[in-house]
Amino acid sequence: MNYSELFTLLAPETLLVIAALGVLFIDLTTLRGEDIATRMSWGAWLTVGACFASGVAAFMAPTATPAGYLDGMLVLSPLSPWVKAVILLLTGCTAIVSISSRFTEHAGEYFALLILATAGMLFLVSTENLLLIFVALELLSLCLYVMTAFNKRNLQSAEAALKYFLIGGISAAFLLFGFSLVYGVTSELNLAKIAPKLASATPDSLLLVGMLMVVAGFGFKVAAVPFHLWAPDAYEGAPLPSAAFIASGSKVASFFILAKLMMLGFANAGGSGAWMNFSSGWMPMLAVVAGLSVIVGNVAAIAQSSVRRLLAYSAVAHAGYALVGVLANQKSEGLASVIYYVATYAVTSVGIFAVVGAVQDRAGNDKLPAFAGLSKREPVLAFCLMIFLLSLAGIPPLAGFFGKFYLFKSGLLVQGGGPASLGMLWLVVLALAMSAVSLYYYLRVLKEVYVSVPAPDAPALEMPWAAKAVAVVLAFVVLLLGCLPGLLVNQLVAAMQVGAN
């Protein structure tokens, strides 16, 4: 093994790890006597700088690794820099949103964890080895558990973290067990080598159990029904930036690796999830999970009065939509649509959390009435919130609409199918019907914002300029990617074509 070559390939990740240690060091030494405001903003801007440097490194790094390099532990493709860039952008935005938060005295530790979690995501994106997937996932998850519990003065935060941790621990056990069964059947850890081994044999029951456990493990990570129960508490109880991070960056990384695992590693053991035509494999399992997520997430969100819980359930529903893309028959289209959808969804989520955070800081809670008359008190933020929520509802010309459209189109497309075959039609119909339900609860929030009259004693909102800038920029991104989806889609498709050749 050549260490200088390894370092070149791993430059983005290495930079992040160094930055995490650097942030800790600076916070403990030079900033020791400073007040919390200074330390938070130093930490945040250092994080942003680290993300930027790492992003540059990701695009500078080679876009291909030698075949069979380290048994698939490190695989770079032309697609990786794009996914990494999205993740780093989300981390940077989360860091900026954190600046004004006052949930902790431990600024250095908080940002170090944030950066380490990001490093975990980047590793997750650049590996195709079951073992390293698991390790990277645990690096990410452990950081997220701690970040959820970070508000020591708040019982809710502790409760949320405990739930998240316990369920997360169990799901990690499932995932590892599943991986070990897959390894037992194929005696391979490298996804590229697992695939051909699965092609020859009909899926035996051991493999099916293994895949079921993998689906369960990832179902937890992406908060799909019936593994979603931690999400509402974590979204509501965690400190706001942590919640934003869980809702955004971790979703992108988890979905990317899930799609890769299923579409690349288990491609030949998919079976079929088409209506009345189920055959055993991971597809019917994932199809049922997707269908349940779409239904439960949207229906449960109707009943919520806390906006953060509402977002949690809507996240469950969105996980269901995104799974439609994972189920696509045509792999490249499916992967491109999943990445587009999850990336735009994550961008939207961070934006919403930025606005919700500003409201919550003033009103003391995130119940619907706290948003009453926001359009009068803070027209710019209200407009951003409208763009974000409508994008989630899938109203054109916003990114969420095109994302859904692209997903469902990939879900219907059948490779080499006859003129009348429409892949996952039942799931697409279900998802579209349920997205009509979703408009109701998004409009309920917007009704408070635009229609309701603010309480006469409602305090004016004060939001640090940086966080406001994040909201505005993200809203612009959502609008831009909705009007010109080609900007991102063309890059993804081109990257995948280069990778395929």
Partner 1 sequence: MFAWTIYISFIGVAWLLTLKSDDAAGARRVALLTSGASLLAALMGAFQYSADSGLVDVANVPWVAHLGIRYHLAVDGISVVLLVLTGLASFVGILFSMNIEKRAKEFFAFYLALIAGVFGVFLSFDLFLLFVFYELAIVPKYFLIAIWGSTRREYAAMKLALYSFVGSAMVLIGLLAAYVVAGGTTFNLIELAKFPFPREFQMWAFPLVFTGFAILAGMWPFHTWAPTGHSAAPTSASMLLAGVIMKLGAYGCLRVAMVLFPLGMSDWAAPFLGLASWREVFGLLAVVGIAYGAMVALVQKDFKFVIGYSSVSHMGFVLLGLMTLSTIGLSGAVLQMFSHGIIAGLLFGVVGRMVYDRTHTRQLDELEGLRLSKSMPFAAVTFVVAGLASMGMPGFSGFVAEFQVLIGAWKSFPTFAVIAGVGVVIGVAYTLRAVHKAFFNDAPEVVAVGGGTAALGGSPKPHNADHDWDDISIPERIGTAILIATTLIVGLYPRVLLDLIVPALNSPLMEKLVKGGAQ
Per-residue tokens: 386:
């409208």
134 binds partner 1 (CB under 8 A): no
206 binds partner 1 (CB under 8 A): no
Distance of closest approach, residue 422 Cβ to partner 1, in angstroms: 6
416 binds partner 1 (CB under 8 A): no
Q: What is the largest CA-CA distance in the chain?
A: 71
Buried b (16+ CB within 10 A) or exposed e, 126-143: bbbbbbbbbbbbbbbbbb
Quick one: which of 22, 369, 396, 464 contacts partner 1 (CB under 8 A)? 396
433 binds partner 1 (CB under 8 A): yes
- What whole-number distance in Å separates Cα of residue 52 and Cα of residue 43? 14
Rg (CA), the chain: 22
Distance of closest approach, residue 280 Cβ to partner 1, in angstroms: 26
3-state secondary structure of 293: helix
Residue 213 burial (CB < 10 Å; 0-12/13-18/19+)?
buried
Quick one: which of 179, 245, 256, 401 contacts partner 1 (CB under 8 A)? 401
Distance of closest approach, residue 439 Cβ to partner 1, in angstroms: 5
3-state secondary structure of 423: coil
7 binds partner 1 (CB under 8 A): no
Distance of closest approach, residue 382 Cβ to partner 1, in angstroms: 10
Residues near partner 1 (CB under 8 A), total: 36
Distance of closest approach, residue 402 Cβ to partner 1, in angstroms: 8
Quick one: which of 62, 184, 196, 486 contacts partner 1 (CB under 8 A)? 486
- What whole-number distance in Å separates Cα of residue 458 and Cα of residue 370? 9
Closer to partner 1 by CB, 440 or 476: give it. 440
Quick one: which of 235, 435, 481, 496 contacts partner 1 (CB under 8 A)? 435
The secondary structure of 464-495 as a DSSP string is -HHHHHHHHHHHHHHHHHHH-THHHHHHHHHH
Distance of closest approach, residue 421 Cβ to partner 1, in angstroms: 8
On whether the CB atoms of residues 429 and 408 are closer than 8 A, the answer is no
187 binds partner 1 (CB under 8 A): no
Closer to partner 1 by CB, 397 or 499: give it. 397
Per-residue tokens: 58:
């990701």
Quick one: which of 405, 472, 473, 480 contacts partner 1 (CB under 8 A)? 405
- What whole-number distance in Å separates Cα of residue 18 and Cα of residue 211? 36
Distance of closest approach, residue 485 Cβ to partner 1, in angstroms: 5
Measure Cα distances from 318 to 105, 165, 431, 456 in Å. Answer: 34, 22, 10, 36
- Residue 129: beta bridge partners? 190
3-state secondary structure of 226: coil
- What whole-number distance in Å separates Cα of residue 145 and Cα of residue 152? 13
Stretch that binds partner 1, among 70-78, 103-111, 296-304, 390-398 (CB under 8 A): 390-398
Stretch 437-476 residues interacting with partner 1 (CB under 8 A): 439-440, 443, 447, 450-451
Closer to partner 1 by CB, 173 or 429: give it. 429
324 binds partner 1 (CB under 8 A): no
Closer to partner 1 by CB, 150 or 450: give it. 450
Residue 483 burial (CB < 10 Å; 0-12/13-18/19+)?
middle
Closer to partner 1 by CB, 267 or 489: give it. 489
3-state secondary structure of 265: helix
- Residue 190: beta bridge partners? 129
Quick one: which of 37, 201, 436, 455 contacts partner 1 (CB under 8 A)? 436
277 binds partner 1 (CB under 8 A): no
x/- letters, 336..375, toward partner 1 (CB under 8 A): ---------------------------------------x
The secondary structure of 332-343 as a DSSP string is HHHHHHHHHHHH
Quick one: which of 343, 390, 399, 466 contacts partner 1 (CB under 8 A)? 390
412 binds partner 1 (CB under 8 A): yes
Helix count (H) and strand count (E) of the chain? 21, 0
Distance of closest approach, residue 282 Cβ to partner 1, in angstroms: 23
Interacting residue ranges for partner 1, rule: CB under 8 A: 375, 379, 390, 395-397, 401-402, 405-406, 408-409, 412-414, 419-420, 422, 425, 428-429, 432-433, 435-436, 439-440, 443, 447, 450-451, 485-486, 489-490, 493
